[in-house]
């Protein structure tokens, strides 16, 4: 009996591999960073070959660390940075250009033109997304238009497009399979959210030939249908595939409608399970496919651009702390912010405000204000931005949030987690294993391969490290939210 599921977590700055055992424990981890390229302002590229090489290296390393071999691996689960776009030659398996990363803004004008031509409503209704360079379609369009001969070759079926999941699977299977899963496909602007098939009208709108698209397979597959990875000469089924944020939702066992998670990293990524049909947001959120595991599940998604980044700024910009972990003691040294409000709109504001012209603001300073007040206001701003996204989700979903599952680097901060529970009025739940993205990929793969039997069994594997119960009344919370709104107004529309 194989002992492990191998989770491949291909992120924006590093590739990681984790071996997960039957109890859901991480037995070993290996990680390899790769090069970030910024060839022009607003451009961000990766070398897809380097991504593959780094991911492959972590497989060998994680097995060695655990004293295991490929024989000990029952199945592979893949999770990945989303939207990043690769175009490669089917004959040689070589990328025809650098991968265009999700952060890349080179197609902002193309999106603005499509918006001006009145296409946004149809795009949103079909895909659940917005016309933004963030998503894959205009990136792929750019490659087809700017790489010599690419459009003609793509139309002739000579080139393959994929997000990073497809690219890894293509390489792991030595070119045998060109597939993606619905959670990744739903980030391209090319998927019809309702049918989970490629959308003809979207392909026409973005000028994408169907011949270059991957096939779509479920996020969790049985062994007989799974792509077979060749590792050390052995064939191992790839039975789990999902984009990173959806994988984290799965890894947090948010299986029921209304369950939500927030990842507190550089930015914050919030997702709420909305059940078996897509929900059109009327509160400026994205609607996305969560996974297809014996049926499709959908989610609402909202991102906060500057989450943990505001703590980095306290450290590197202001210099009032030496490390991120110091912020908790400094903020806890005062009972409140003393009327100071901080809006960390360093790069504008994301969901649900969508204001690219907002800029960072500190309001309410008096002669009594100290760095402790500013630190506390910075910490609270992470929770207040997240609260606004969750309030929008509740309004869209028409159901109250019951609890919030949390992960990511800044979720280690107890003061922040308690404030989040207080301001939301719901418990905040921090799991034992905070590698929820990789765990989600392992869960999807293990479910498909029969390593685990059911979602109920998986939910029981997710241990709780700490639960933060709300300790304030709603009046207190509403006052804080109202004051936050007043600070927000002062930050909006500042840059021109
Ligand atoms: P990413 O995956 O985006 O790099 P991580 O999940 O590794 O992010 O989290 C790193 C972020 O968490 C940083 O922005 C850092 O400022 C923040 N952070 C780390 N520790 C703490 C802490 N104790 N309190 C608040 N923020 C923290």
Q: Is 324 in the pocket of ligand 1 (CB under 6 A)?
A: yes
What are the strands, taking DSSP E only, across 276-386? 286-292, 296-304, 341-343, 361-363
Task: Give the mean pLDDT of 59-82.
Answer: 97
Bridge partners (DSSP) listed for residue 95? 88
CA distance 474 to 405: 21
- Evaluate whether residue 165 is within a structural domain: yes
235 CA to middle of ligand 1, Å?
Answer: 38
Average pLDDT over residues 140-162: 97
The string of pLDDT tens digits covering residues 216-268 is 999 999 999 999 999 999 999 999 999 999 999 999 999 999 999 999 998 89
In a domain, 28, yes or no: yes
Enclosing domain of residue 143: 4-242
Q: Per residue in 22-56, pLDDT tens?
A: 999 999 999 999 998 989 988 889 999 999 999 99
Residue 126 lies in a domain: yes
Task: Please work out whether the CB of residue 412 comes within 6 Å of at least one atom of ligand 1.
Answer: yes
Please report, for the domain that includes residue 174, its CATH number: 3.30.420.40
Is 74 part of any domain? yes
Kindly state whether residue 193 falls inside one of the protein's structural domains.
Answer: yes
Q: Is 10 part of any domain? A: yes
Using an 8 Å Cβ cutoff, are 288 and 186 in contact? yes
Alpha-carbon 407 to chain mean position: 12
328: Cβ below 6 Å to ligand 1?
Answer: yes
Spatial separation of the C-alpha atoms in residues 359 and 381, rounded to whole Å: 14
> Which residue has the CA at smallest separation from atom 7 of ligand 1?
409
Question: What's this model's pTM, rounded to 2 decimal places?
Answer: 0.93
- Backbone dihedral region of 276: left (phi > 0), alpha (psi from -120 to 50 degrees) or beta? alpha
| Residue 267 alpha carbon, nearest atom of ligand 1 | 3
* Residue 81 near ligand 1, beta carbon < 6 Å: no
Q: What is the mean pLDDT of the chain?
A: 95
Percent of the chain having pLDDT more than 90?
Answer: 90
Q: How many domains does the chain have?
A: 1
Three-class SS of residue 215? Answer: strand
Please give the Cα distance from 446 to 239 (Å, whole number): 7
Residue 91 located in a structural domain? yes
**DSSP state letters, 72-109:** GEEEEEEEE-SS-BEEEETTT--BSSPEEPTT--TTHH
In the reported structure, the alpha carbon of residue 436 is separated from the centroid of ligand 1 by a whole-number distance in angstroms of 15
What is the distance in A from the centroid of ligand 1 to the CA of 265? 5
Is residue 86 assigned to a domain? Answer: yes
Query: At 1, is the pLDDT very low, low, confident or very high (cuts 50, 70, 90)?
Result: low
Instruction: Evaluate if residue 361 carries a pLDDT over 70.
Output: yes
Quick one: three-class SS letters along 217-280?
Answer: CCCECCHHHCCEEEECCEEEEEEEEEEHHHHHHHHCCCCCCCCEEEEECCCEEEEEEEECCCCC
């Amino acid at each position: 009996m194989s002992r492990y599921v191998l989770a491949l977590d291909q992120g924006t700055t590093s590739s990681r591999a984790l071996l997960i055992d039957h109890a859901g424990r991480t037995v070993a981890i290996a990680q390899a960073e790769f090069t970030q390229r910024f060839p022009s302002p607003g451009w961000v590229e990766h070398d897809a070959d380097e991504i593959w090489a780094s991911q492959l290296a972590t497989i060998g390393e994680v097995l060695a660390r655990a004293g295991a071999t490929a024989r000990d691996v029952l199945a592979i689960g893949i999770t990945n940075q989303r939207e990043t776009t690769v175009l490669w030659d089917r004959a040689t398996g070589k990328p025809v250009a650098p991968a265009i990363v999700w952060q890349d803004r080179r197609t902002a004008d193309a999106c603005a033109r499509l918006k001006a031509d009145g296409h946004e409503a149809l795009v949103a209704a079909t895909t659940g997304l917005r016309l933004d360079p963030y998503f894959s379609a205009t990136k792929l369009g750019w490659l087809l238009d700017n790489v010599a001969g690419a459009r003609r070759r793509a139309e002739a079926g000579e080139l393959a497009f994929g997000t990073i999941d497809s690219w890894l699977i293509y390489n792991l299977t030595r070119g045998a399979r060109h597939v993606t899963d619905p959670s990744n496909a739903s980030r391209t602007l090319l998927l019809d959210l309702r049918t989970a098939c490629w959308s003809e009208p979207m392909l026409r709108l973005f000028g994408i030939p169907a011949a270059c698209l991957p096939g779509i397979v479920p996020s969790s597959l049985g062994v007989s249908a799974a792509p077979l990875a060749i590792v050390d000469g052995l064939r191992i089924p790839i039975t789990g595939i999902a984009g990173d944020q959806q994988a984290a939702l799965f890894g947090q066992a948010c299986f029921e409608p209304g369950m939500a998670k927030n990842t507190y990293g550089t930015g914050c990524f919030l997702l709420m399970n909305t059940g078996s049909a897509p929900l059109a947001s009327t509160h400026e959120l994205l609607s996305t496919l969560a996974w297809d595991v014996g049926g499709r599940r959908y989610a609402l998604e909202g991102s906060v651009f500057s989450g943990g980044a505001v703590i980095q700024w306290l450290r590197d910009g202001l210099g009032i702390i030496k490390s991120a972990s110091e912020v908790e003691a400094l903020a806890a040294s005062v009972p409140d912010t003393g009327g100071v409000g901080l809006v960390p709109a360093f790069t504008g504001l994301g969901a649900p405000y969508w204001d690219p012209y907002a800029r960072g603001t500190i309001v309410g300073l008096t002669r009594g204000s100290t760095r402790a007040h500013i630190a506390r206001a910075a910490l609270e701003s992470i929770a207040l931005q997240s609260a606004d996204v969750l309030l929008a989700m509740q309004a869209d979903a028409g159901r109250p949030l019951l609890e919030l599952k949390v992960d990511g680097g800044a979720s280690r901060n107890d003061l922040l987690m308690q404030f989040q529970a207080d301001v939301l009025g719901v418990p905040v739940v921090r799991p034992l294993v905070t590698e929820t993205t990789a765990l989600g990929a392992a869960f999807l793969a293990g479910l498909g391969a029969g390593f685990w039997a059911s979602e109920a069994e998986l939910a029981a594997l997710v241990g709780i490290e700490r639960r933060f119960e709300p300790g304030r009344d709603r009046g207190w919370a509403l006052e804080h939210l109202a004051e936050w709104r007043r600070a927000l107004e002062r930050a909006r529309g500042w840059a021109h």
